[in-house]
Amino acid sequence: MVDIARIHQPVLLQQCVDLVAPALQAPGSVAVDCTLGLAGHTTAFLKAAPGARVIGIDRDAEALALATERVAGEGLADRFTPVHAAFDELDDVLDELDVPQVQAVFMDLGLSSLQIDETARGFSYAHDAPLDMRMDVSQSLTARDVLAGYDVDGLTRIFRDYGEERFARQIARRIVQVRDAEPLLTSRQLGELVDAVIPAARRGSGNPAKRVFQALRIEVNGELDKLARTLPQAACRLSVGGRLVVESYHSLEDRTVKTFMADGLKADVPADMPVVPPDMQPFFAPLTKGAVKADEAERAANSRAASVRLRGAELIRPLPSRWRREFGHRARGMERMPRRRGRK
């Protein structure tokens, strides 16, 4: 039995509740926790909004089972619906539940506490374990597969783009050089390889393999692509007055969220247009001034809070039909949403 209280410390919990709960005060309100994890945030939302319901989505079946048990133990199961899915299946989940609109969508990105602390899947460079890194163990692609099958250019791309690793190509070359003689199967092997490649004089703080492990995890789970598909689905499903609240833990996630929210904070007109027609007004209003960060006390108590960035936006008018169409295209990956030319 996993001790949930011991391993799970929700980051910026009260700040998240303060952002989400005001949208859930009407009886029958619905929130979606797209990254349920061990239900720390969901449990707090249900307690803060006694008339609301939460749909909790997680692709990790083990986490979903533990979260369901936790919510039931708090006596909140009658207002909670667990769903085993990836969060970019948001539209499908709500369609299946016959929920056309919701009042809040919350995302706590990155690894859950369970995944970080469970050594068997090889997410962490701090423990020697098989290089798996799947959040959903029913999918086929693992970190071992990436390291064994990608060429130098492919490995360089993920280490550079997803890990922002300065020595991406050198690490990729070394992997390709050694893998035929010694397949990379464990986190220890990969950590030692990275350690041998990066010059001691050029290292930042922390473990030199941190960025490589992050990049592999993002690639294996398709995290950034899923995030880019999910945000427009969330916007289309919000009712007016509904809130989108997202916690990010590295710059790539935060940049995606910031860019998406900023798009809705601008008028959809040329900057020199003297009058903004009503249907071209911004459809989001900011709930946070920039990104909220954890204070010194929380960072000291919970190391996972060190890099958090919390952003929130409220839908203040119905989405124009043309943006619903274009958000739909973006959510399905059919085309990129055009850059808006608007003004603040």
Domain boundaries defined on the chain: 4-114+223-331, 118-221
Of 164, 248, 260, nearest to 204 by C-alpha is 164
- Asked whether residue 1 carries a pLDDT value surpassing 50, the answer given is no
Would you state the torsion angle of the CA atoms of residues 122, 126, 129, 133, taken in this order, to the nearest 10 degrees? Answer: 0
pLDDT, tens digit (0-9, with 9 covering 90-100), for 69-99: 999 999 999 999 999 999 999 999 999 999 9
- The structure tokens listed for 258 are 């910031």
Judge whether 106 and 54 are in contact, CB under 8 Å.
Answer: no
Residue 127, SS3?
A: coil
Rounded to whole angstroms, how far apart are CA atoms 70 and 39? 7
pLDDT at 327: 72
pLDDT, tens digit (0-9, with 9 covering 90-100), for 42-70: 999 999 999 999 999 999 888 999 999 99
pLDDT at 4: 53
Pairing of strands 53-58, 309-315: unpaired
Cα torsion 115, 118, 121, 122: sign: positive
Rounded to whole angstroms, how far apart are CA atoms 79 and 57? 14
pLDDT at 232: 94
Helices (H), the chain: 4-7, 13-20, 40-48, 61-73, 90-96, 113-117, 143-149, 152-163, 168-178, 187-197, 210-221, 223-237, 251-264, 296-301, 321-331
Rounded to whole angstroms, how far apart are CA atoms 239 and 105? 11
Q: Which CATH superfamily is domain 118-221 in?
A: Putative methyltransferase TM0872, insert domain (1.10.150.170)
Annotated binding site: 39-41, 58, 87, 108, 115
Q: Tell me which architecture the domain covering 4-114+223-331 has in CATH.
A: 3-Layer(aba) Sandwich (3.40)
pLDDT at 7: 52
Annotated binding site for S-adenosyl-L-methionine: 39-41, 58, 87, 108, 115
pLDDT, tens digit (0-9, with 9 covering 90-100), for 118-138: 555 556 666 789 999 998 888
